[in-house]
Structure formats: structure tokens, C-alpha cells
Structure 1
């Protein structure tokens, strides 16, 4: 359980193998998150030794309560750095990326929309927000109570006392009640049926890219996977992901390359070849844009911290 966000997003009803660790899976585009039958959600303490996860989405509300360190999150055209004590909420099906350049520790809490829908009708219409635009004392108090509930959930989850499910689920439903009453609004989307179709099509596209990112994938090939004409596919992908298909491929490759740079002594040339990044000049430019350093400098910084 090394990284915070490298899950390939999809929910399964039983405890199965997760694709959350970079070392275990080559899937980043949408998260595969297993849930416990006894709880219906995914909840754990996450320790991230360093990662870059490109644009991805998940069919769940995701909450990250940073206990130690920092995390940079890009979401809806904004980039923000969060610090220990911050609580981050990412709504379902929102495209976002994350970057952790130094170790951090957090509570990771993911709530499938399918689970919410059991208790809240039309759960897909709910939009949650933990931010406090008016900086009110009432909002801060509510947020402090919510964080305290997460800490209690984390303690029970780590200790696993006898009767774990009873205690954890009581806290789980308290947290969900707080989210619903204190931090949500209902937004009715114009064409939910079309949104669902687009989401399903995007899942197929992202899954195919994740399985084949190490080789060249032409526009014609990936458009055929989605049963779309090339021109329409390009517009569809850019609308959904906020970047072009080619940019996304390079972002995905970069995420694996960064992990290998900080966790192995392999040559940069070998790492690039392993993950299909053939244009070294482009790689240097993209890498510097994200990390404001060269791969060699990143390695030196990591070794000094170890």
C-alpha cells in the first residue's frame, strides 16, 4: 500500500486484489478499489513514498485526510498543494491528478456511488464540498467533527477489535450523515443517461490505454476501440479528460517512469524504453514541467532523504 492514488478505479463488492500499488499494476486511468463486504467502502491508512498519478477518475467520492507531509492535487483546472491537517474531497467522476514528491501519510476513504445510492436516492446528483468559502466558525466546527470521526474510524480499522464491523459501521454511517447534512448540495444534471453512456465509453478507452501504454497506439486504433470516428474520438477524449489523447499517453508513461526513477538504479534510457517514451527531448521537457528538476536531480534528492 505504497501510493495514495494509483488505483485503477472500479468497485467490486468483495475483497479482491487491488491495483493500488504502482508495483502491482499498470492501470492508472480509473481506479479499481476493492471494498469489504462488512463495510461497503474502501478505508485505509495510506503511506506514499513518492508518486505522480496523471489525470484519472473514479466512480466514488474520495476523501483524503493528510496526517503527515504534502500532496499536490490538480482538479477542474486548478492546482493546489495540501498539507498535514488538510482534508481533501474529490467528487465522483471528477478528473484529477496527484503528485507526491516526498513521503506522506493519510487516511484514504472512498465511497462508491452505488453504496451511497442504497441509502440516498439519486446519489449521483449530490455534490460534496469540504471547503469553507466564508471561513465561518460553524463550518470549521463541523469540519473538525468530521475529521475527528475519520480519526476514530482509522483507529478502529487499524486495531480491528472484536466486533470491528459493529463499531466501524456505526462510525461510517455517522460520517456519511455528516457529509450529507453538512457538506452536500443536490445538482440535477440535464441528461444523466447520456452522462452514463459517456462514462462507460471512457472507461473502455482508459482501460485499453492502461493495458497498452508501453507501445504506440494510433488514433485510428483507439478510436476503433470506442467505435468512434477518429475526429469525433479526439473531441470526445479532450472534452472528458481535459487533455489530448497523445498528451494523456505521455502523462501515463511519465507516472511509471517517475516511480522507476525514485525506486530503482536503472538507467534513464532503460526506463524510458521500458515504458514506451521514445522521444527523449519531449520527455525532458515534460518531466521538468512537472517536477522542476532533471531525473538525476530527483534521484539525488531522494537519496539524501533516505
Structure 2
């Protein structure tokens, strides 16, 4: 991927495994960039996933076509249903949970791309939801959703001259976002914000690459060129949870997907992803999914 923002992680299920080999039956995928546009767009069919707290330097839009999706954003938890459209602004910490299959249009607009056409794009905040929603705003949102669907049709079918059609719809939806769903907010000390964002990117990338192993506070603090005490405060301030909690959340997301997509034993799956505290795992798992791993598998086999 050519853009520099942190990728949004998606699960891609593969063939079930009936042995104990140390092979992953799924992979985290990066939403593909359309080379002719610089944005990320795809139809997502999710059989079940948990994506822990993360951020990316892009506006993310999820239009649910079927099923439900739970989104935790800035300490607010909400379940979205088919027909609803979710917008997550750039650099907003969020997580998602899908406990039953859903289908959605998934669309990311990197801030670097938006900045090519809108001055000071990093000062724009977008909002599709409005507590005082009027008939005019509902009409604008319906038009916005229909434009997304037309983009999906063009992207899925890829007719001759596809890129002309897709790009015309892309710029139409950017125009709608800018005029109908944005406000301008000037952030203080943008230089420090950019520095903190770059540092957090380095930290999260290192954790993703090494999450199976024990990572000490000293080790991860050195990656960020910070003293241990300052690192802990910095990470909690940025992510809303401690470093250890985040590492376990990331492990849990992989474990949950392996439970859904393989027949490997729970013990083998936990070892594969570096989760050594079984009691803590069971507590975290039940808190997130309100079921035991065995019950999740029974539900999977029943569908």
C-alpha cells in the first residue's frame, strides 16, 4: 500500500484447519488502494471479527448492508444495523466487533488524498449523524448512501471505462461530505499532534509485529525513545487503555478469529498467539462476547 496511514485491519477467513500445525487460518488484510484514485473501497463480507482499538490517518465510512456491527469510539459504544452508515474521523481511536455475519461497503479516504483538493483538510470534522435531524438532512444522507451504492456497483462489476465512472462518483461523494456533513475545527499545537501521531504509529506497528511475544515496558518504551514512566502515561492518554491491556486485546482479536475459522484446540490457539494467562483470557473473552469459546463454536456450527 502506497499511503502512509496506519491500516485498518480486516479479517479474511480461509479454509478450516483440522490439525495442530502452527498455521494461520486467516490473515489481517489491508483495504486495497485503487491505484487510479488513492482511496480504499471494497465490499466487505465479515463472518465474525473483533478489531481492537486502533486509528488511521483517513476518514472511514462503513455502510452496513446486512447484519449488525458494534463500534466503540471515544468511550461510546453503539450497535449499528443494516441501512445505517458509520463515519469515523481521521485519528479517532475506535474498535469494532462483529459477532454474527454482516455485509458492508467499506470506504477509507486518506487525509493525504483529501488534502490535495481541500485546503487544511486536517481541520475538517465530518458527521453523518445529527440529533436534530431534519427532513432535508435525511434526504442528503439518503443521497449519500445511494452514491456509495453506485460506487459499489461500479467497483464490483468493473465495466469498460470503470475508472471514469468510479472517479466521478468519488468526487461527487467528497463534494457531498464537504458541503453537507463537515465543520471546520482549528486544533491547537498541530506540530505536537503530528509528532505524537507519528510516535504512536511506530509503537502500534511494533506491537502488531511482535504481539505473540512478551514485550516489556522497557522494550516498547525504547522503541518510542521514551522513558518507561512517560511511555505508560503517553500510551494510556492516546489509546485509553494500558499497554498490557492493548497487547491482550490484540491477541484476543486473533484468538477469536481462529476460534471461528479453525477447529484447533483452544489451548493451541492461545499458545499460537502468546496468551499465557488462561483465567484472564476466559474473563476477557466472556466480557467481550458474552459467551464461552465453546459456545461461540457451537453457534458457528449451527449457522
Normalising by the smaller structure, the TM-score range is over 0.9
From 275, 278, 293, the equivalent of 1:277 is 275
What's the offset of the Cα at 1:36? 1.6
- Counterpart-to-counterpart distance in 2, 1:289 and 1:253: 15
From 255, 258, 261, the equivalent of 1:260 is 258
Aligned 8 A contact 1:237 1:243 in 2: yes
Identify unmatched segments of 5+ residues in structure 1.
1-10
- Counterpart-to-counterpart distance in 2, 1:50 and 1:23: 9
> Alpha-carbon deviations, 1:286-305, whole Å to 9, x = none?
00000011000110011101
| Equivalent residue, structure 2, for 1:109 | 107
Distance 1:302 1:253, change over 3 A: same
What's the offset of the Cα at 1:132? 2.0
Identify unmatched segments of 5+ residues in structure 2.
15-23
- Counterpart-to-counterpart distance in 2, 1:72 and 1:27: 21
Secondary structure at 2:131's aligned position in 1?
coil
What's the offset of the Cα at 1:181? 0.3
What's the offset of the Cα at 1:85? 0.1
Aligned 8 A contact 1:27 1:207 in 2: no
| Equivalent residue, structure 2, for 1:90 | 88
What's the offset of the Cα at 1:33? 4.2
What's the offset of the Cα at 1:129? 0.3
Across the two proteins, how many residue pairs are aligned to each other?
291
Question: So what's the TM-score if we normalise by structure 1?
Answer: 0.91
> Alpha-carbon deviations, 1:94-113, whole Å to 9, x = none?
00000001110000110000
| Equivalent residue, structure 1, for 2:149 | 151
From 229, 232, 236, the equivalent of 1:231 is 229
**C-alpha RMSD of the superposition:** 2.0
Structure 1 segment 80-229 matched on structure 2, within 5 A = 80-229=78-227
Secondary structure at 1:52's aligned position in 2?
strand
> Alpha-carbon deviations, 1:31-66, whole Å to 9, x = none?
854422212211111100100010011110000000
> Alpha-carbon deviations, 1:196-233, whole Å to 9, x = none?
10000001000110011001100011001100000000
Aligned 8 A contact 1:27 1:211 in 2: no
